[in-house]
Amino acid sequence: MSLFCCPICGGPLERGPSAYSCPAGHSFDLAREGYVHLLPANRMHSKMPGDDKGMAAARAAFLSKDYYAPLRDALCSIALANTGPAPSVLDTGCGEGYYTSGVYRALVRAGRSVTMAGTDISKAILRRAAKREKDVEFAVASSYHLPVADGAVDLLVNCFSPLAIEEFRRVLSPGGAFVYVVPSEKHLWELKQVLYDRPYPNQVKQTPYPGFSYREIRHVESVIHLPCQEDIHALFQMTPYYWKTPRSGAERLAALTALDVTISFDIHVFCRD
């Protein structure tokens, strides 16, 4: 069973050996890596939307060393607490699939019969996600036009990705859970101290959204040790700071051979009314 529906007519999609197709005859080829492109050309704002290959490679290299394992493990715990025996799970803006894979495997280990999909606007990143987890569906798609039927999702996960709250409400089933991860106040504080003369903490707020009720806000914080310039640069390159840091700050960071840095996240868990 596929979580995806046709982005042209909205009909259910069925996955075949080489393509997805709907009853109306629309067909979407599977890429060699196993993902499908469900972003119509008129919704693409560039030829290569989303994160570029360099950012994708940096994030994959960094996350593969489990520096963000505390966040992944917290998401697994929340997923287990907010799903039943046969959940449908969607990870929007899933990136290279690090958290997608973690949540999927945790649910499978717990004996759940899981249908799971991930979406991202970047083909470069989805190639990595599809290679990582063959039993999860992946599609190039916009969070603002998800190729998913109304009420089809029991758990929706969004880590550091665009907040398309109306679309998330549409695809979630009543009583379904929406898990939204944002950087907390001191996230990457020591990195910012190197990059900027006057760094400021991230803004932390609790925002109610129409059609959702709060279940909890879980705070995850740890200090990680980056033992080499390669890992420091990978962290830098996967953040927005990479594009808006003065050259002097980037040079200071490049001179470091090790760095202890705080990772700090707030996980907002909502229930779809």
Per-residue pLDDT of the chain (273 residues; tens, 9 = 90+): 899 999 999 999 999 999 999 999 999 999 999 999 999 876 554 444 556 788 888 999 999 999 999 999 999 999 999 999 999 999 999 999 999 999 999 999 999 999 999 999 999 899 999 999 999 999 999 999 999 999 999 999 999 999 999 999 999 999 999 999 999 999 999 999 999 999 999 999 888 899 999 999 999 999 999 999 999 999 999 999 999 999 999 999 999 999 999 999 999 999 999
The verdict on whether residue 68 carries a ligand-binding annotation is yes
pLDDT score at 124: 87
How far is 183 from 219, CA to CA, in rounded Å?
10
The verdict on whether residue 37 carries a ligand-binding annotation is no
Burial state string for 40-68 with b = 16 or more CB within 10 A and e = fewer than 16: eeeeeeeeeebbeeebbbbbbbbbeeebb
How far is 133 from 106, CA to CA, in rounded Å?
13
Phi then psi for residue 211, to 5 deg, are 85, 0
Residue 273, classed as helix, strand or coil, is: coil
The verdict on whether residue 97 carries a ligand-binding annotation is yes
How far is 122 from 124, CA to CA, in rounded Å?
5
The verdict on whether residue 22 carries a ligand-binding annotation is yes
How many Cβ atoms are within 10 Å of 226's Cβ, its own excluded?
22
**Pseudo-torsion of CA 119, 124, 125, 130, nearest 10°?**
70
User: Which residues contact residue 273 at a Cβ distance below 8 angstroms, ignoring those fewer than 6 apart?
Assistant: 174, 211, 212, 213
pLDDT score at 48: 46
Tokens 């953040």 map to which residue? 239
The verdict on whether residue 96 carries a ligand-binding annotation is yes
The verdict on whether residue 211 carries a ligand-binding annotation is no
pLDDT score at 91: 98
pLDDT score at 55: 86
Residue 239, classed as helix, strand or coil, is: coil
Q: Strand pairing of 88-92 and 36-37? A: unpaired
